[in-house]
Structures are given as C-alpha cells and as structure tokens.
C-alpha cells in the first residue's frame, strides 16, 4: 500500500495531464501539438489500484520504443531485449545492478523528452530560428479562438475552458522564459513542454495542479476533491472500491500533515514532489523486485528474459491493441 501511495504521488501530475490531454484533443484544430499531451511521459502506474504494465514498459523503453515492441512476437521481443540488456550492463560483468538500471531509465527518459521537444520544436519553428515567439506559438495552438464568441471561449468542460487553457499556457510560457524576451529558446521550450523535470518550473506545476483539483476554488484541496481526481463512480449508488477507501485513509494519514481536513500549498507540494523521490531509482527498484528470482538484488540476462513481459510489451498481451492502432491508419 505504501508503494501505491508513493507511486500515486509521483504520477498525480500525469493523471492531471491526461485529463487536460483529453480536453485539449477535443479542441478544434487540436491536431496541432498541445503541451498538455506531452506531459504524460509515465502514464499511470497503478490504474484503479491495478498494476499497469504499460507504465513499466514506457519507463524502461520510452513511449516511442515501447509502442514498437507492442507489435513484435515474443521471440523478437526477447532478442531485442537481450541486445538492450548488454548495453545496460556498463561494466560488462553479466549483472544488471540497480544503479545500472537507474542510469538506463534516466537515459530513456532524457532521450524521449529530447525527441519529443525536437518534434514539436520543428513543427512550430520550421526555419529553426534560435527561438519561438509567444505570438507564433499562440497562433498555431490557439489561433482558432479568434473566431469564437465569448460564450464559446468560457464554456467549461470539467472546469476547464479554452480561455483558461490559454491563460495557463501563457503563464507557463512566461515562467519558462528565463531571459524575459517573451521568446523561448529550445532549452526554455523544453521546460515549457516538460515542466515536471525542471526545478524552475516547480511552482507553476504546483499552481496548475491545485487549480485542477480545487473544484470549488477555495484555494485548498478537500478529501473529495483529492479522490475526485482519481475516481468517479460510474453509477450514483456504486460502492467505493477498496483502493479508494485506502486513498481516503492515505489523505488523512500521510497527506494532510496538519490534520485540518484540507491540503494546503505546502502539503500538495510534499505530495506531488516529495524531496527524496527519484522516479528512475524507484522504477529500477521495482523492476528488480519483479524479476530477481534468486534475491541477490541484481539481475542476470536470464532473469530479465524470463520476465521479459515485465520490461517490454509483446504480441502476447498487446496484440489486439496493436491491431486496433493499425486499423486507424
Ligand atoms: C524566423 O525568423 C525570421 C526572421 O526573423 C522570421 O521572418 C520568421 O517568421 C521566423 N519564423 C518563425 C516560425 O517564427
Ligand atoms: C522573437 O521571435 C521572433 C519570431 O521568430 C523574431 O522575429 C524576434 O527577433 C525574436 N526576438 C528575440 C528577442 O529573439
């Protein structure tokens, strides 16, 4: 349970991001890249209390590579995984240690962010100028708003309107703009698209998170607002599943540190970015735990290949999904 709590904390932003992504994708003209869709690097590790294997695959391979593996046969998956394992084993001693695995996971995360930013950067900046102006960005992503009336701009879906999305982006842009010229360099643009990894963006991420959760706009998060973000009953009288009850308890015991029934800024901050939490390290520990059959706290290639579906997807589990994706094209 402790573990679920920690993971939940680490991925809260992504849950929020997923909601935003869903809204963003309903925006007309939203084939254009939208920043909120780019936040969801890790997905939800525990979905409704169920362990989500996709989360581990994406942490281990990055989202792009992980999709490629989804359509491979188990044999081909294992072959390619074996090649990767040899790369992870930095000192070539035949054992993957926690630190080697952590380095690998950090590397795939950096690689993904870099590729993702590169894609969006090229879309907004085909001339490859040194920076992108806010006006250029706004026109591409929010230009359609110029044709909407006030009502349409302010109409809310889950408490979010076009107007509020624009305002949030504008604010995030301003925070990412370190040299205050209102243009973003590629480095600043990276902070804008992936604020979760940038120390300078911590406060704006905190503010956005609170805005999302705080439905009654009283400036603090009640237990119902906290739960409402992870779970909505599908029917009026549906009984709450046990994991939701556990989350309520976690709110009281671990999140609401001053026991006043609400989370204030400081408590939300502790929750979403606890000082000592390292995503790559936590994921490395988790993967070793899943595959370390002889309990020596490190993995051999055989241990990894035996549990290959923990590390990578394959036809065995995701074939239907891969087919479905294929049909879309
Ligand atoms: C790139 O810079 C040139 C020269 O300042 C400008 O004319 C052009 O519009 C810029 N491109 C973008 C996408 O802003
Ligand atoms: C900001 O970007 C615009 C469009 O690319 C460019 O014309 C302008 O010179 C840039 N300003 C600065 C200060 O770099």
Count of other CB atoms within 10 angstroms of residue 127 = 4
Among the bound ligands, name the one nearest to the CA of residue 180.
Answer: 2
Which pLDDT score, from 0 to 100, does residue 238 have? Answer: 81
- Which H helix or E strand runs over 78? helix 74-88
3-state secondary structure 196-260: HHCHHHHHHHHHHHHHHHCCCCCCCEEHHHHHHCCCCCCCCCCCCCHHHHHHHHHHHHHHCCCCC
Most confident of 11-25, 102-116, 222-236, 264-278: 102-116
Calpha distance 284→280 (Å, rounded):
6
User: Percent of the chain, pLDDT > 70?
Assistant: 80
142-156, 250-264, 287-301: least confident range? 142-156
Q: Measured from the CA of 129, which atom of ligand 1 is nearest?
A: 1
Cβ–Cβ under 8 Å, residues 267 and 255: yes
Cβ–Cβ under 8 Å, residues 291 and 299: yes
Residues 6+ apart with CB under 8 A from 324: none
**Mean pLDDT to the nearest integer, 167-188:** 96
Ligand 1, atom 3, lies closest to the CA of 129
Ligand 1 center from residue 33 Cα (angstroms): 19
Cβ–Cβ under 8 Å, residues 121 and 189: yes
Determine if ligand 2 sits within 6 Å of the CB of residue 181: yes
Ligand 2 center from residue 307 Cα (angstroms): 51
Determine if ligand 2 sits within 6 Å of the CB of residue 131: yes
**Mean pLDDT to the nearest integer, 202-210:** 93
Which pLDDT score, from 0 to 100, does residue 313 have? Answer: 78
Residue 263, both tokens: 């989370």
Which pLDDT score, from 0 to 100, does residue 314 have? Answer: 65
Determine if ligand 2 sits within 6 Å of the CB of residue 135: no
Q: How many CA atoms lie within 13 A of 304 on its CB side?
A: 29
- Which H helix or E strand runs over 158? none
**Mean pLDDT to the nearest integer, 43-63:** 71
Q: Is the pLDDT at 26 greater than 60, yes or no?
A: no
Ligand 1 center from residue 58 Cα (angstroms): 36
Determine if ligand 2 sits within 6 Å of the CB of residue 185: no
The structure's pTM equals 0.74
Determine if ligand 2 sits within 6 Å of the CB of residue 129: yes
Determine if ligand 1 sits within 6 Å of the CB of residue 183: no
Which pLDDT score, from 0 to 100, does residue 206 have? Answer: 93
Which pLDDT score, from 0 to 100, does residue 251 have? Answer: 94
61-70, 152-161, 285-294: least confident range? 152-161
| Torsion-angle region of 149 (φ positive above 0: left; ψ -120 to 50: alpha; else: beta) | beta
**Mean pLDDT to the nearest integer, 12-30:** 36
Among the bound ligands, name the one nearest to the CA of residue 136.
Answer: 1
Return the best residue to mutate from 120, 127, 132 for the ligand 1 pocket (most ligand atoms within 8 A of CB): 127
Which pLDDT score, from 0 to 100, does residue 274 have? Answer: 79
Q: Measured from the CA of 133, which atom of ligand 2 is nearest?
A: 2
Residue 132, both tokens: 């992108």
Cβ–Cβ under 8 Å, residues 8 and 248: no
Most confident of 190-194, 277-281, 320-324: 190-194
Determine if ligand 1 sits within 6 Å of the CB of residue 136: yes
Q: How confident is the model at residue 87 (pLDDT cuts 50, 70, 90)?
A: very high
The burial of 308, by beta-carbon neighbours within 10 Å (0-12 exposed, 13-18 middle, 19 or more buried), is given as buried
Q: Is the pLDDT at 111 greater than 80, yes or no?
A: yes
Which pLDDT score, from 0 to 100, does residue 45 have? Answer: 55
Calpha distance 38→229 (Å, rounded):
19
Nearest to 274 by CA among 17, 5, 16: 5
Helix pair 162-176, 202-213: axis angle to 10 deg:
160
Q: Measured from the CA of 136, which atom of ligand 2 is nearest?
A: 4
Cβ–Cβ under 8 Å, residues 165 and 145: no
Q: 308 or 22: which carries more pLDDT confidence?
A: 308
Cβ–Cβ under 8 Å, residues 257 and 270: yes
Q: What structural domains does the chain harbor?
A: 1-30+130-220 (no CATH), 54-128+264-329 (1.10.238.10)
**Mean pLDDT to the nearest integer, 315-320:** 46
Ligand 1 center from residue 188 Cα (angstroms): 18
Decide: helix, strand or coil at residue 273. coil
Q: 35 or 255: which carries more pLDDT confidence?
A: 255
Cβ–Cβ under 8 Å, residues 296 and 288: no
Cβ–Cβ under 8 Å, residues 40 and 24: no
Decide: helix, strand or coil at residue 124. helix
Token match 């090649």: residue?
83
Token match 């973000």: residue?
229
Q: 115 or 317: which carries more pLDDT confidence?
A: 115
């Amino acid at each position: 349970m402790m573990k679920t709590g920690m993971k939940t904390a680490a991925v809260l932003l992504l849950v929020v991001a997923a909601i935003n992504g869903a809204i963003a994708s309903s925006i007309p003209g939203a084939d254009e890249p939208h920043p909120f869709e780019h936040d969801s690097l890790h997905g939800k590790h525990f979905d409704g209390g169920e362990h989500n294997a996709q989360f581990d695959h994406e942490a281990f391979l990055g989202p792009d590579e992980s999709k490629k593996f989804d359509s491979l046969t188990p044999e081909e998956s294992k072959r390619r995984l074996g090649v990767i394992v040899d790369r992870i084993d930095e000192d070539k001693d035949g054992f993957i240690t926690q630190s080697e695995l952590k380095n690998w996971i950090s590397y795939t995360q950096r690689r993904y962010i870099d590729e993702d930013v590169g894609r969006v950067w090229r879309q907004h900046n085909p001339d490859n100028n040194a920076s992108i102006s806010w006006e250029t960005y706004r026109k591409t992503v929010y230009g359609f708003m110029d044709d909407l009336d006030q009502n349409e701009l302010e109409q809310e879906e889950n408490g979010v309107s076009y107007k509020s999305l624009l305002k949030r982006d504008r604010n995030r842009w301003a925070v990412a703009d370190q040299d205050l010229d209102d243009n973003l360099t590629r480095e600043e643009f990276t902070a804008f698209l992936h604020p979760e990894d940038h120390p300078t963006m911590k406060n704006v991420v905190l503010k956005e998170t609170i805005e999302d959760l705080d439905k009654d706009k009283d400036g603090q998060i009640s237990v119902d607002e906290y739960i409402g973000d992870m779970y909505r009953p599908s029917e009026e009288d549906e009984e709450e599943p046990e994991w939701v009850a556990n989350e309520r308890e976690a709110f009281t015991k671990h999140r609401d540190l001053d026991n006043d029934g609400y989370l204030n800024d400081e408590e939300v901050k502790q929750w979403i970015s606890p000082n000592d939490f390292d995503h790559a390290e936590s994921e490395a520990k988790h993967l070793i735990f899943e595959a370390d059959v002889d309990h020596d706290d490190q993995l051999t290639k055989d241990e990894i290949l035996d549990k290959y579906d923990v590390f990578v997807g394959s036809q065995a589990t995701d074939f239907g999904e891969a087919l479905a994706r294929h049909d879309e094209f």
